Structure 1
Amino acid sequence: MEFVESCQLESVNITQYIQSAQIVLSCSPFDETLAFFTDRLGFRVDIVSPADDPAVVMISGHGLNIRLERNTGESIQSAGTIRLLLAHGSGLFANEITELFAPNGTKIQLVEATAKLVIPSVKQSFVVTKMNTDAQWVKGRAGMNYRDLIPGRQGGRFIASHIQIPNGGPVPDHVHYHDVRFQMIYVYKGWARLVYENQGYPFVLHAGDCVLQPPRIRHRVLESSGGLEVIEMACPAVHNTYIDHNIELPTANELPDYDYGGQRFVKYVAMEENAEWQPWRLPGFEFRDTGIAAATEDLAGVRIIRSNGDVKPQMCEHDAEFVFMFLLTGELSLLVKGRTIEKFTAGDTFVMPEKLSHAFVEWSEDVQLLEVSLPGTFATIYV
């Protein structure tokens, strides 16, 4: 059924297009309200968005679906708001019908349901974050502490988070998955025990290990050491985290080469003896490949970089969509054209945009970096 342009609001019949319904509640304080619904009233969490600093949490229980929105600033009347998700192609939005009001004042929001992942256009910029001066931690999903490593998010296209779990032991996590283009996790300090769909029994990631989490792969963090710290990178910056209440992990089948939207799961183990160091794209350094470029068909690359003993500063540029560096150990001095030399120590990061001339001009012998790039292979031009 298509609605003609002249249809009147009162005559619209939307019944056949409704897929689900949500009650929308504005929350302040947010964390206490969520705990009230889950701990005292028995609702369960279904979706969290975004994971690093939740602003929207979808909960369900007792026949209700509720959307909790953190202090949006919008004044919601005591009558409340009900959000109706409509099937794509209903024709309602062509007529600019976006909300209705019930006789009692309840607002009915009409929202087009879509499974399409929105990836904003990249807005490249040079970004620096310092561990000792810029660290601002917020409480995120499952009690984890998050530090934003890319303020501005490159136009919303990328997010990098430094995540902490201060206290060791079982992690109050659920089986969940992320609707993403790309996502990886690197263990910076400590260890974590995780389990992934189709990847066998739970395993432990130690400091220096990392995983590629393909789009929508179900997984769960089971346990961690005290002081666990990980670096998580994802594209796009804002994406949904879905709680899956129907699957149990580990799954019966072990399918290490399973295709998740053109990507395969990767577990990189730093202590593997057969891993080789190769010359890096800048002189004076070498790198170990994690295998993520191959598993993503070169969508992204993740490398561990260290000094090879030679100090050979060289100005250069690159043509990549995104290049992110996290200093794991040691010290490094970076010269960027038009700026003073910037000194980095462990925990500091920078994002280097394309066509910006730069050089590593000085570094300690123990320097090591984590490099994440999209694409996995790109050109470096010496200038």
Structure 2
Amino acid sequence: MLNPHTAEIDLPCSEIPETLAFFQDDLGFSLHTIYPADDPAVAILSGHGLRLRLVRGLAGQAGRIRLLSPDAEPREVRAPNGTVIEFAPLNPWPEIPANRPSFVYCAAPTEREWGTGRAGMQYRDLIPDRWGGRFIASHIRIPQGGPVPDYVHFHKVRFQMIFCYRGWVRLVYEDQGEPFILRAGDCVLQPPEIRHRVLEASDRLEVVEIGCPADHPTHVDHILPLPTCAMRPDRDFHGQRFVRHGAADALWEDWALPAFRQRDLGIAAATDGLAHVRVVERLSDRPLPVGQVVVAAEEFHFLFCTGGSARLTAEPGGAATLEAGASVALPPGTLWSFSETSPDLSFLEVCL
């Protein structure tokens, strides 16, 4: 196997001197090699982590180079040989698109709906229009358990949470101690840029992941080992704290409708009120009130059914049957209510 010391990028060039002067004088590259001396046809130079080889008469595209800087003003210039130089910010935060809400109902999944995503995980999109790119809700599964081919990584996001729906998964997070197991009903809040890794999963693991914005980068960290030595449960990650909620130790309270109870997953406190996440259960010993409605007051209101069944009616929107694995996204201002509710109805409720 080859063990290269460095790498070069070839760029075609009609005239060496003019293009070489541009890269040296305008962009700060340094010249290493040029030949032949009497009529230069090749020039090798480096700068900003790149090594370029200008070749006179080489066929092909002139290429595109992105130069990144923390304080860069986005702009483009063109070198004499036609290479486009783009100046761009280093590691920018993703743009959060304007909200374009719609009533979205996803029935319980069929086998045809799953697609393969990162690290061999299978994904199902619960909001296909993604509300204009502002939100994403993914139903993720790993059918066959065992070690997961993941790596230490982090996300640049406004919000991201993982709710374990079925099975279990072993995870590790930056400054949050040793790896732990997330079981059905448990949840984690992944604050922006916290390093983490999925280590192992049970057979038929299923989780629900909610994120904002929909398109956000996943960055690999090749340096930081996990677990870290520090234990900092109150560490601030861009205004948010890590949350690990265990269903077994949860406290139950009344919910918006008297025939239900809720357990708060602690995410509102950790995000300074950005998101409220609850698990809601039907109380079988209490009658379901007729005609009582709930108002979707937030910019994002999402329900994922974890058990039982119910008929949900939304105005505007329509009617939908909630059963295990089904979900509904409700635009702001939607009035919604339940009917035909089974005694074992339970669902995840996420509001941003």
Task: Give the TM-score normalised by the residue count of structure 2.
Answer: 0.79
Question: Aligned equivalents of 2:111 and 2:295: distance in 1?
Answer: 26
- Which residue pairs with 2:105 in the alignment? 128
Check whether the contact 1:101–1:108 (CA below 8 A) recurs between aligned residues. Answer: no
User: Does residue 267 of structure 2 align to residue 301 of structure 1?
Assistant: no
Residue 109 of structure 1, CA deviation: 4.8
Question: Aligned equivalents of 1:315 and 1:92: distance in 2?
Answer: 49
Matching residue's letter, 1:296: T
Secondary structure (helix, strand or coil) at the match of 2:248 reads coil
Question: Aligned equivalents of 1:88 and 1:315: distance in 2?
Answer: 49
Residue 125 of structure 1, CA deviation: 1.2
**Given the alignment, which residue of 208, 211, 236 partners 2:185?**
208
Question: Aligned equivalents of 2:259 and 2:306: distance in 1?
Answer: 17
Question: Aligned equivalents of 2:271 and 2:317: distance in 1?
Answer: 35
| CA deviations over 1:312-364 (Å, ceiling 9, x no partner) | 14134232111111000110101123555321211010011111222112210
User: Does residue 203 of structure 2 align to residue 221 of structure 1?
Assistant: no
Question: Aligned equivalents of 1:228 and 1:116: distance in 2?
Answer: 31
User: Does residue 285 of structure 2 align to residue 279 of structure 1?
Assistant: no
- Over 3 Å counting, the alpha-carbon distance change for 1:111 and 1:332 in structure 2 is farther
Question: Aligned equivalents of 2:279 and 2:73: distance in 1?
Answer: 51
Residue 137 of structure 1, CA deviation: 1.6
- Which residue pairs with 1:344 in the alignment? 322
Alignment length (residue pairs): 304
Matching residue's letter, 2:84: I
Check whether the contact 2:72–2:89 (CA below 8 A) recurs between aligned residues. Answer: no
- Which residue pairs with 2:163 in the alignment? 186
- Which residue pairs with 1:317 in the alignment? 295
Residue 152 of structure 1, CA deviation: 0.9
Question: Aligned equivalents of 1:136 and 1:64: distance in 2?
Answer: 42
Residue 227 of structure 1, CA deviation: 1.1
- Over 3 Å counting, the alpha-carbon distance change for 1:267 and 1:82 in structure 2 is same
Check whether the contact 1:311–1:362 (CA below 8 A) recurs between aligned residues. Answer: no
- Over 3 Å counting, the alpha-carbon distance change for 1:209 and 1:79 in structure 2 is same
Query: Within 5 A, what are the aligned runs for 1:1-383?
Result: 14-16=26-28, 79=61, 81-87=63-69, 93=75, 97=76, 99-100=78-79, 102=81, 107-114=83-90, 115-132=92-109, 136-272=113-249, 275-309=250-284, 310-313=287-290, 314-337=292-315, 340-374=318-352
Check whether the contact 2:252–2:263 (CA below 8 A) recurs between aligned residues. Answer: yes
Secondary structure (helix, strand or coil) at the match of 1:341 reads strand
- Over 3 Å counting, the alpha-carbon distance change for 1:347 and 1:87 in structure 2 is same
Matching residue's letter, 2:251: E
- Which residue pairs with 2:46 in the alignment? none
Question: Aligned equivalents of 2:337 and 2:324: distance in 1?
Answer: 18
Check whether the contact 2:73–2:89 (CA below 8 A) recurs between aligned residues. Answer: no
Calculate percent identity across the aligned residue pairs.
Answer: 46
Question: Aligned equivalents of 2:175 and 2:70: distance in 1?
Answer: 32
Matching residue's letter, 1:122: N
User: What RMSD in Å do the two structures reach over aligned CA positions?
Assistant: 2.7
Secondary structure (helix, strand or coil) at the match of 2:132 reads helix
- Over 3 Å counting, the alpha-carbon distance change for 1:175 and 1:335 in structure 2 is same
Matching residue's letter, 1:83: I
| CA deviations over 1:47-84 (Å, ceiling 9, x no partner) | xxxxxxxxxxxxxxxx889xxxxxxxxxxx95473431
Larger deviation, residues 228-237 vs 339-348:
339-348
Question: Aligned equivalents of 1:211 and 1:368: distance in 2?
Answer: 19
Check whether the contact 1:331–1:364 (CA below 8 A) recurs between aligned residues. Answer: yes
Check whether the contact 2:94–2:217 (CA below 8 A) recurs between aligned residues. Answer: no
Secondary structure (helix, strand or coil) at the match of 1:131 reads coil
Question: Aligned equivalents of 1:298 and 1:137: distance in 2?
Answer: 33
Structure 1 unaligned segments of length 5 or more: list them.
Answer: 1-8, 18-62, 66-76, 375-383
Question: Aligned equivalents of 1:168 and 1:134: distance in 2?
Answer: 18
Matching residue's letter, 1:308: L
Question: Aligned equivalents of 1:219 and 1:89: distance in 2?
Answer: 28
Residue 203 of structure 1, CA deviation: 0.6
Secondary structure (helix, strand or coil) at the match of 1:335 reads strand
Task: Give the TM-score normalised by the residue count of structure 1.
Answer: 0.73
- Which residue pairs with 2:56 in the alignment? none
Secondary structure (helix, strand or coil) at the match of 1:271 reads helix
Question: Aligned equivalents of 2:87 and 2:255: distance in 1?
Answer: 49
Larger deviation, residues 114-123 vs 188-197:
114-123
| CA deviations over 1:222-278 (Å, ceiling 9, x no partner) | 111111111011111000100000000110111111111111111111111xx2211
Check whether the contact 1:135–1:147 (CA below 8 A) recurs between aligned residues. Answer: no
Matching residue's letter, 2:120: G
Secondary structure (helix, strand or coil) at the match of 2:340 reads strand
